[in-house]
Amino acid sequence: MEVEIQKGIDQLDNQVTNTINSAIQVIQKSVTEKGERLMNKLNHQTAWLRKHLFRPNILLSAVEKHVKTTSLLYSPLRSFTISHFPSSGNDVNILQPLPSVTLNEILPIGDLEIESYILLLVVIACLDNQKYPEAFFWAQQSVSRAHLLHISTDALIAKLYFYYERAAELCKVTIIDQLLIAHTTATLRQANETKATLTNLIVRCYLATSQYSVCEKFITKSLINQSVSNQQQARYYYYLGRIQCIHLKYSDAYDSLTTAIRKAPQLPKAYGFHVCVTKWLTLVQLLMGEIPRRNVFLQNGMLKALLPYYRLTQAVQVGGLEEFKKVVEEFKDWFTEDKTNGLVIRIRQNVIKTAIRKIYVSYSRIGLSEIQKKLQLDSVEDTEFIVAKCIQDNVIDAVIDHENQILIGKNTLDIYTTNEPQIILENRIRGCMQLQRDIEKAMIFEDNTKRVLESGAYFNVDIHDNGIIGDMH
């Protein structure tokens, strides 16, 4: 039994080592052939490796095999992996600063990229083992020479900056200035993936410090390329939707948040991201006067994480002001942690509007004092003002008899005699057409297109200045 277990462990170790070797080969091939699409494979390999970096001597063997002994990083990196990721478990927390790579110390083609990837694995391992200061230290070393990496490794550079910001956030270190400089460099180099990643990281830093005005100016002027990965596009639209919601642009926020969910990986993947987006999307719908569908909260076990927002939706749906106050008070800490308490307070007006509309449908004539009692408002004067605002916003079709303090309803208008159904249908058609365009843009075609003839032969198409030349074979 023990022999079989040891055999399985050895096989897994060999698989991890082979995956690291394969990732290094992908980097070398990407640099020599200038193929950015190869980096997609590297991202999948890195995601799998992350689950196995805790295994003994994995990082040490990677450093010894793939980092040149003449490199400035070899000795300190090897010492660090021995002391912090050993099989025995001795821990050393004192790190000596490493020299930066200057233009006179540029390594041969591919070596610098390989070192950066090994550094990335070390940073990931430190973060997963909650060694945050060490992770931030090595992340600093990796991004300090990111501008020297080949442009074909754009996806690798983006990963380096992503974990650099994550380590800084966990260490509570502000790096917004460094990110802005890196964003300018990425824009000049036309490194789209790095630029999109840095845009999202900068916006995240601004939102963390509640700098909404600065954040809006930055994100509206830093549009991302549609060729970047869906993960970065999803994050971009999520942050954009949050900013638009805060600035009362609810329709735009709804479109952005819906796009973020569509571009994110399907559940159960990216569970946390789906929960965050759904929270904001629920609030946006409530602020727009809409009620989210119940199945939104029940998909893939999200009800527990979305319970405060589900209860909030129920309170708005029934128009119960007292129930709304109870939910807000009960889940006050949840809303504060999610930074949505300001939006929740805005929803109170929608709860009152829903309740007044229910009263309007039920009664053709009703006194304002009765409405005050039902809604538990402060005074009849406040009730009169709120009802007048509902009439102005076309929530109800009624008039107020100010002399007798009575609300008199008019004949209810059939919605199908208006253009509202047409507007809803147009919005659905527009959404379907946009989805089709996004799918077409996301399709990947081979560079050398082969056309299959009816005879079964292949025809290679090559375009030259003087026409199209084809070779049959």
Domain boundary among 243, 266, 289: 266
Domain coverage including residue 338: 267-362
Helix (H, G, I), strand (E, B) or coil at 108: coil
Cα–Cα distance, 377 to 368 (Å, whole number)? 11
Is 145 buried (19+), middle (13-18) or exposed (0-12) by CB count in 10 A? Answer: buried
Looking at the fold, whether 85 and 119 belong to one and the same domain comes out as yes
Looking at the fold, whether 235 and 327 belong to one and the same domain comes out as no
For residue 452, is it within any domain?
A: no
Looking at the fold, whether 311 and 412 belong to one and the same domain comes out as no
- H or E stretch including 9? helix 2-33
Helix (H, G, I), strand (E, B) or coil at 469: strand
Looking at the fold, whether 47 and 194 belong to one and the same domain comes out as yes
Looking at the fold, whether 284 and 388 belong to one and the same domain comes out as no
Looking at the fold, whether 39 and 159 belong to one and the same domain comes out as yes
CB half-sphere exposure, 365, CA atoms < 13 A? 4
Q: b or e along 50-67 (b: 16 or more beta carbons within 10 Å of the residue's beta carbon)?
A: eeebeeeebbbebbeebb
Q: Which residues, 6 or more positions from 261, have their beta carbon under 8 angstroms from its beta carbon?
A: 234, 274, 277, 278, 281
Looking at the fold, whether 312 and 391 belong to one and the same domain comes out as no
For residue 449, is it within any domain?
A: no
**Token digits of residue 2:** 């023990």
- H or E stretch including 463? strand 458-464
pLDDT for position 168: 94
- CATH value at residue 377: 1.10.10.10
Looking at the fold, whether 56 and 176 belong to one and the same domain comes out as yes
* Phi and psi angles of residue 293, each rounded to the nearest 5 degrees, phi first: -70, 150
Cα–Cα distance, 347 to 319 (Å, whole number)? 11
The residue ranges of the chain whose pLDDT is under 50 are 88-106, 449-473
Crossing angle between the packed helical segments 58-66 and 2-33, to the nearest 10 degrees: 40
pLDDT for position 88: 41
* Phi and psi angles of residue 66, each rounded to the nearest 5 degrees, phi first: -110, -10
Q: Which residues, 6 or more positions from 296, have their beta carbon under 8 angstroms from its beta carbon?
A: 278, 282
* Phi and psi angles of residue 450, each rounded to the nearest 5 degrees, phi first: -115, 130
**Token digits of residue 429:** 């058609």
**Token digits of residue 96:** 């000596």
Cα–Cα distance, 142 to 68 (Å, whole number)? 16
**Token digits of residue 201:** 């990281």
Domain boundary among 362, 385, 413: 362
* Phi and psi angles of residue 398, each rounded to the nearest 5 degrees, phi first: -150, 175
For residue 7, is it within any domain?
A: no
* Phi and psi angles of residue 28, each rounded to the nearest 5 degrees, phi first: -60, -45
DSSP code for 301: G
pTM score, whole prediction: 0.77
pLDDT for position 417: 76
- Give the tens place of pLDDT for each residue, 51-95: 888 777 888 888 888 888 888 888 888 888 888 775 544 444 444
For residue 285, is it within any domain?
A: yes
Dihedral over alpha carbons 369, 374, 375, 376 (to 10 degrees) = 80
Looking at the fold, whether 205 and 229 belong to one and the same domain comes out as yes
For residue 52, is it within any domain?
A: yes
Is there a contact between 321 and 376 (Cβ–Cβ < 8 Å)?
yes
Helix (H, G, I), strand (E, B) or coil at 458: strand
Cα–Cα distance, 286 to 245 (Å, whole number)? 12
For residue 458, is it within any domain?
A: no
Looking at the fold, whether 139 and 205 belong to one and the same domain comes out as yes
**Token digits of residue 447:** 């560079």
**DSSP letter string over 361-401?**
HH-SEEEHHHHHHHHT-S-HHHHHHHHHHHHHTTSS-EEEE
For residue 351, is it within any domain?
A: yes
Domain boundary among 303, 333, 362: 362
Helix, strand, coil percentages for the chain (3-state, nearest 5): 65, 5, 25
Sign of the Cα pseudo-torsion (44, 47, 51, 53, in order): positive
Domain count across the chain: 3
For residue 76, is it within any domain?
A: yes
Q: Which residues, 6 or more positions from 57, have their beta carbon under 8 angstroms from its beta carbon?
A: 86, 87
Looking at the fold, whether 350 and 424 belong to one and the same domain comes out as no
Looking at the fold, whether 181 and 215 belong to one and the same domain comes out as yes
Question: SS3 sequence, 26-93?
Answer: HHHHHHHHCCHHHHHHHHHHHHHHHHHCCCCCHHHHHHHHHCCCCCCCHHHHHHHHHHHCCCCCCCCC
- CATH value at residue 122: 1.25.40
